[in-house]
Amino acid sequence: MAASDSNTNIPEYECIDVNTKPFHIEAFRTEWLRRLHPSQYSYEQPEEDGFEVTFVKEMAIDEDTMSELKAVCSIDSLRCHPKDEQPDTDLVPEDPVLRTLIQRKQKQDHKASQKSVKNRHDLYADELERVTVERKPEAVENLIPEGEVLLTINVYYPAVFDKFNYTRPHMTLLMTGSHTLAELRDAICCVSDVQVCGEFSNNPDMVPDLVSKDHYKSAFFYFEGVFYNDMRFSDCRDISITTIEWAKTRNFPPFSQGKMEDTRFVDLKVKVGFPYLYCHQGDCEHLVIITDVRLMHRSDCLDKKNYPLLIHKDRIDTQKCAVCHVYIARWYTTNDQFAPSDPCLFCDKCFRMLHYDTEGNKLGHFLAYPYIDKGAFN
Ligand SMILES: [Zn+2]
Ligand SMILES: [Zn+2]
């Protein structure tokens, strides 16, 4: 495909139903704003009367027809019960043919069969929705300006190609066009950032508070031929240079570099639906897919303080302790004469009971490393 194809700033499919050709996000936004009337992306509720007047004019009908239309199309006339009867809205009629009713019935049956109350993940998701949908900020300066662009971003844990179709995003975030890539980085929670390195079998109480994120701050995003490095701290290094140098010697198209803290989403040229890369902690790689770019709507959360807005988080199976099978693992050991496997995972309690006497003295030979489970963020 010719490079000139990408000069358009209206997203077109490159692979049907998979991803678009690259387009510039700010130019796309400008294109939208040029074509829309400000009232179409304004946060003000459109006036009912205004709508009617326009409708009558555009459809060339008279006032009487309009009133009749209004009466016929009113939601009051949408009912499956006699006029004078008060319906039970929880009762789905026998053998419904409407798709909405069929689905409602299925949901009710499913609920009845489960009997259990919502688990804490569902409760958390409900609560998140309650506090964010159509939320207006308390202070005016926290209002996201009208005509701002909103991106939906999926972040995935690494997966092999064959499995990728079945992999669900680890998290889904909403971010505005003026957010920087550094803000995206800070919103991605990955267990590699909080691991503690070191062997602590001789002094399990001495595990330091510093986690890998405090030691190894370098990271990069890769979008459309550009590596965006995190250079916010003095100990950050350009970890993309190895790949760039390697690519130079192997006839790849040239790559360039940028800083993630200086790059806003509106500055990017991207393909929607295309997998890009986030790499941190040396070799912890995640796929990042922008699944939607659109203008902000009045029904969105309009409070800047709530962004980046987490709208989905996947539940991850937790690795349990090999002894009690109840608690999440906190330690893993190797060369461990007490362990049923090598390496082996233990919760804190079982680990200490099995490996130390009542005075806290180490028993036998083993190496012990602090372990943070992927599911610890659930
Ligand atoms: Zn990671
Ligand atoms: Zn245990």
CATH at residue 227? 3.10.290
Specify the DSSP class assigned to residue 62: -
Asked if residue 115 and residue 135 are part of one domain, the reply reads no
Instruction: Please state which of the ranges 31-45, 137-151, 155-169 shows the lowest mean pLDDT.
Output: 155-169
Query: In the structure encoding, which two tokens stand for residue 175, read together?
Result: 């971010």
Residue 183's SS3 state is helix
Closest to 287 measured CA to CA, from 177, 167, 378? 167
pLDDT for the residue 37 = 92
Burial class of residue 134 in the structure, from the number of CB atoms within 10 Å of its CB (0-12 exposed, 13-18 middle, 19+ buried): exposed
333 touches 354 (CB < 8 A): no
Q: Residue 17 pLDDT more than 80?
A: yes
Average pLDDT estimate for 296-318: 90
Asked if residue 143 and residue 114 are part of one domain, the reply reads no
* Residue where a domain terminates, one of 124, 148, 176: 124
Asked if residue 256 and residue 200 are part of one domain, the reply reads yes
Closest to 22 measured CA to CA, from 2, 7, 44? 7
Q: Which residues contact 7 (CB under 8 A, 6 or more apart)?
A: none
Axis crossing angle, helix 48-59 with helix 63-72, rounded to the nearest 10: 120
Q: Which residue has the higher pLDDT, 211 or 352?
A: 352
pLDDT for the residue 93 = 79
CA of residue 167 to ligand 2 center, whole Å: 30
CA of residue 59 to ligand 1 center, whole Å: 56
Any domain includes 14: no
Asked if residue 135 and residue 70 are part of one domain, the reply reads no
Specify the DSSP class assigned to residue 232: S
Average pLDDT estimate for 164-183: 89
Instruction: Please state which of the ranges 63-72, 78-87, 189-198, 341-350 shows the lowest mean pLDDT.
Output: 78-87
Q: Which ligand is nearest to the CA of 170?
A: 1
Asked if residue 296 and residue 149 are part of one domain, the reply reads yes
Q: State the pLDDT confidence band at 165, using cuts at 50, 70 and 90.
A: low
Q: Residue 132 pLDDT more than 60?
A: yes
Asked if residue 113 and residue 245 are part of one domain, the reply reads no
Q: Residue 2 pLDDT more than 50?
A: no
Specify the DSSP class assigned to residue 167: P
Backbone angles phi, psi at 292, to 5 degrees: -160, 140
Any domain includes 8: no
> What residues sit around ligand 2, an ion, with C-beta below 5 angstroms?
321, 323-324, 327, 347, 350
CA of residue 315 to ligand 1 center, whole Å: 16
Asked if residue 186 and residue 245 are part of one domain, the reply reads yes
Q: Which residue has the higher pLDDT, 367 or 167?
A: 367
Asked if residue 181 and residue 60 are part of one domain, the reply reads no
In DSSP terms, which residues pair with 290 in a beta bridge?
Answer: 153
DSSP-assigned states of every residue in 260-306: GGG-BGGG-EE-TT-EEEEEETTTEEEEEEEEEEEE--TTS--BGGG
Asked if residue 133 and residue 92 are part of one domain, the reply reads no
Q: State the pLDDT confidence band at 154, using cuts at 50, 70 and 90.
A: very high
Q: Which ligand is nearest to the CA of 353?
A: 2
Any domain includes 322: no
Q: State the pLDDT confidence band at 196, using cuts at 50, 70 and 90.
A: confident
CA separation for the pair 85, 83 (Å, rounded): 6
Domain count, the chain: 3
Asked if residue 191 and residue 294 are part of one domain, the reply reads yes
Q: Helices in the chain by DSSP H: which ranges?
A: 25-35, 38-41, 48-59, 63-72, 99-114, 120-132, 181-187, 212-215, 241-248, 348-355
Closest to 293 measured CA to CA, from 4, 1, 30? 30
Which range among 64-73, 203-212, 258-267, 363-372 has the greatest average pLDDT?
258-267
Asked if residue 135 and residue 254 are part of one domain, the reply reads yes
Interval 223-281: pLDDT, tens? 999 999 999 999 999 999 999 999 999 989 889 999 999 999 999 999 999 999 999 99
List the domain range (segments joined by +) for residue 222: 125-313
CA separation for the pair 97, 218 (Å, rounded): 57
Question: For the chain, what is the mean pLDDT?
Answer: 88
Q: Which ligand is nearest to the CA of 329?
A: 2
